[in-house]
A and B are shown apart, each in its own frame.
Chain A
Amino acid sequence: MTPPDYFSRDRRWHPPAFTPDYKTSVSRSPRLPLLSLENTASEITGPTFAPTDIAEGDNDLLTNFARDGGSPIGERILLHGRVLDENARPVPNTLVEIWQANASGRYRHKKDGYLGALDPNFGGCGRVLTDDNGAYAFRTVKPGAYPWRNGINDWRPAHIHVSVFGSAFAQRLITQLYFEGDPLIARCPIVSTIPDPAAVQQLIARLDMNETRPLDMIAYRFDIVLRGRRSTMFENRMEGN
């Protein structure tokens, strides 16, 4: 039986490559159209990860870089959600990786020279495998906004970068999550690379008072949707299979 294809990616829902208000895209976007491929084994397979690949606590940014007894400064948040496909089926055992600035908007990266202070107890990266229901969770601090050299007064909204694998190389995705109510979202040239306002809404994590831990941390919910795939009935038979 030939494994079923993934749904075609809706390239009008995603940002196009050439988005001149985001200046770096001008010289880093292909000028010629993408060549569309039908799925082969090269696209419907992808790397798999096991619990042994990561360590317990890799998803706790409050502790995974903190010095003994230390704790990062900032708003403590529980970030959680599910990874689903376009058929709303959970994607279990998939690797979710995040990275972010600290509460000052400063990244722990040798290339970040922003004035905002580094936090000695905060690294800014985490990773976790989804459970059988596709659920994942991180503990972290809410990142701060930060300036960047695009327009001279451009500021990124508070955001967390998210990388997800799914079960196929065709599902590989990197995105950014934003926080409900942030007034910088509407002003950001990177957010605005996405043409459809409904698609932007999909990147905004919602305050989730139900999962908030009283007297401890505020919760945000962010569900991630990866490409779905066709059902198995009436698949094209490949010769020789």
Chain B
Amino acid sequence: MTQDLNYLKETPSQTAGPYVHIGLAPGAAGFDVYNKELGWDIAGPNAKGERIRIEGIVIDGTGSPVKDVLIEAWQANAEGVYAHPEHSGDVEEGFRGWGRVITNFETGEWGFDTVKPGTVAGRSGTLMAPHINLWIVARGINVGLNTRLYFSDEDAANAKDPVINLVEWENRRKTLIAQRNDRDGQVVYRFDIKLQGEDETVFFDI
């Protein structure tokens, strides 16, 4: 008789639907229910490192902005440490490394304020270039899409990044790079996400 492996199966994903804001960002849905909404402050007041803003838009296969998307960000602090018990090192008090943003219902623009993360050790002694992990859910997306945001002013580190270098098609690597700009003294990185078609963003099975 063959033994049974007895693993459970992961609960299957379903789309977050058009009203994801009710559950995950009720203020944006037009009502207040919680004392404190989660995810609006990624870095906290004590985080070291460069304060930056990330902005972008998610574009569908017809070239139209996706106006009902929700994005979560997960990143290390400026020293490359994640706020998690399985990553060695301390983070600043109030640094969570996690954020949640929604798009403007009219324009599809989204953005968040944070600090630029440091490099993080990868597998087998490699070093990963500074990056922010993003997870995108919306109506029409059956399983949340994972991607990474890298920084345009980190050319040397990006060139050696083990994940960027996994992207065999070199012309697709640029879809992972946010472009640095200065706006009235504030550092703003632009990161547009293309779900489908020309210059489709690289998405990962993590």
Measured CB to CB, the residues of A under 8 A from B are: 3, 7-11, 13-17, 19, 22, 24-32, 34-49, 53-55, 58, 64-65, 84-88, 95, 97-99, 107-112, 123-125, 127, 161, 163, 167, 169-170, 172-176, 190-191, 193-194, 198-200, 202-203, 224-228, 236, 238-240
Chain B residues within 8 Å of A110, by CB: 29-30, 105
Contact with A along B95-130 (1 / 0, CB 8 A): 011100000010000000000000011111100100
For residue B69, which residue of chain A has the nearest CB? A28
Are A193 and B84 in touch, CB under 8 angstroms?
no
Chain B residues within 8 Å of A41, by CB: 76, 82, 86-87, 120-122
- Can you list the 6 inter-chain pairs with the closest CB atoms, starting with the nearest? A99-B23, A24-B140, A239-B125, A47-B98, A28-B140, A45-B84
Are B29 and A65 in touch, CB under 8 angstroms?
no
Q: Classify the interface of chain B: helix, strand, loop or mixed.
A: loop
Chain B residues within 8 Å of A108, by CB: 22, 29-31
Chain B residues within 8 Å of A44, by CB: 86
Given contacts A19-B142, A31-B197, A55-B34, contact A175 B167 (CB under 8 A): no
CA A202 to CA B9, docked complex, whole Å:
9
24 examples of A-B residue contacts, CB within 8 angstroms: A8-B205, A11-B205, A13-B9, A22-B15, A22-B142, A27-B60, A30-B203, A37-B205, A39-B206, A42-B74, A42-B82, A45-B74, A47-B83, A48-B83, A48-B85, A53-B36, A99-B19, A111-B18, A123-B33, A125-B34, A174-B144, A193-B142, A225-B10, A238-B124
Given contacts A163-B24, A169-B135, contact A46 B35 (CB under 8 A): no
Are A40 and B195 in touch, CB under 8 angstroms?
no
Measured CB to CB, the residues of B under 8 A from A are: 6-24, 26, 29-31, 33-36, 38, 60-62, 64, 66, 68, 72, 74, 76, 82-87, 96-98, 105, 120-125, 128, 131, 133, 135, 137-145, 148, 163, 166-167, 172, 195-197, 200-206
Are A10 and B14 in touch, CB under 8 angstroms?
no
Chain B residues within 8 Å of A46, by CB: 74, 84, 98
Are A172 and B135 in touch, CB under 8 angstroms?
yes
In-complex Cβ contact of A54 among B6, B22, B34, B83 (8 A): B34
Are B13 and A14 in touch, CB under 8 angstroms?
yes
Are A123 and B9 in touch, CB under 8 angstroms?
no
For residue B67, which residue of chain A has the nearest CB? A111
Write the nearest CB–CB distance from A208 to chain B, whole angstroms.
18
Chain A residues within 8 Å of B60, by CB: 27-28
In-complex Cβ contact of A13 among B10, B97, B139 (8 A): B10
- The A-B contact count (CB < 8 A) is 273
Are A161 and B17 in touch, CB under 8 angstroms?
yes
In-complex Cβ contact of A107 among B11, B22, B121, B125 (8 A): B22
Are B97 and A47 in touch, CB under 8 angstroms?
yes
Write the nearest CB–CB distance from B98 to chain A, whole angstroms.
3
Chain A residues within 8 Å of B34, by CB: 54-55, 58, 125, 127
CA A226 to CA B12, docked complex, whole Å:
9
Are A123 and B12 in touch, CB under 8 angstroms?
no
CA A142 to CA B146, docked complex, whole Å:
32
Are A14 and B204 in touch, CB under 8 angstroms?
no
Are B84 and A48 in touch, CB under 8 angstroms?
yes
CA A39 to CA B57, docked complex, whole Å:
27
Chain A residues within 8 Å of B120, by CB: 40-42
Are B14 and A174 in touch, CB under 8 angstroms?
yes
CA A24 to CA B15, docked complex, whole Å:
10
CA A170 to CA B14, docked complex, whole Å:
16
CA A191 to CA B14, docked complex, whole Å:
8
Chain B residues within 8 Å of A95, by CB: 38
Write the nearest CB–CB distance from A66 to chain B, whole angstroms.
11
Give the interface centre of B23, B30, B86, B97 by most chain A CB atoms within 10 Å.
B23
Are A14 and B24 in touch, CB under 8 angstroms?
no
